[in-house]
Amino acid sequence: MYNISLDGFHPSTICVELSNLQPSLQEASELLLSEYPEETVKDFIEKFARTTEIMPDDRTVGFIIINKKSRMISISVAKIPEGTRQAIMQIFSKYKEAGINTEIDIE
């Protein structure tokens, strides 16, 4: 689940399937860096938001908060595959190198 907060725009909350987590995280930095935030958010939502019906056995495995004002990406997830955890750590390492503030909480 993403919560996206950009200056001057209503916050957006979207559900992203676990299979789209890594690709969405690889592009999430654009939400902070883009000179056209409204268009970037629309494109991000169109590309990654879940469009299928939510079923009773579905569950939220974590949250990602993106705050443009704070230039911050924060993730809190539980019970994800080890390969996914490693990919998240690599992606967030690149964020830090780009000067983006990060918070990571992975069980």
Per-residue pLDDT of 55-104, as tens digits, reads 888 888 899 999 999 999 999 998 889 999 999 999 999 999 999 999 99
10-56 confidence digits (pLDDT tens): 788 999 998 899 999 999 999 999 999 889 999 999 999 998 887 88
For 10, the token pair is 């209503």
pLDDT for residue 53: 84
Whether the model pTM is above 0.85: yes
- Two tokens at 70? 């704070």
Distance CA 53, CA 89 (A): 30
Q: Pick the closest to residue 15 from 26, 27, 4 (CA basis).
A: 4
How high is the pLDDT of residue 54? 79
The domains of the chain, with CATH numbers, are: 2-106 (3.30.420.600)
Burial class, 91, CB count within 10 angstroms (exposed 0-12 / middle 13-18 / buried 19+): buried
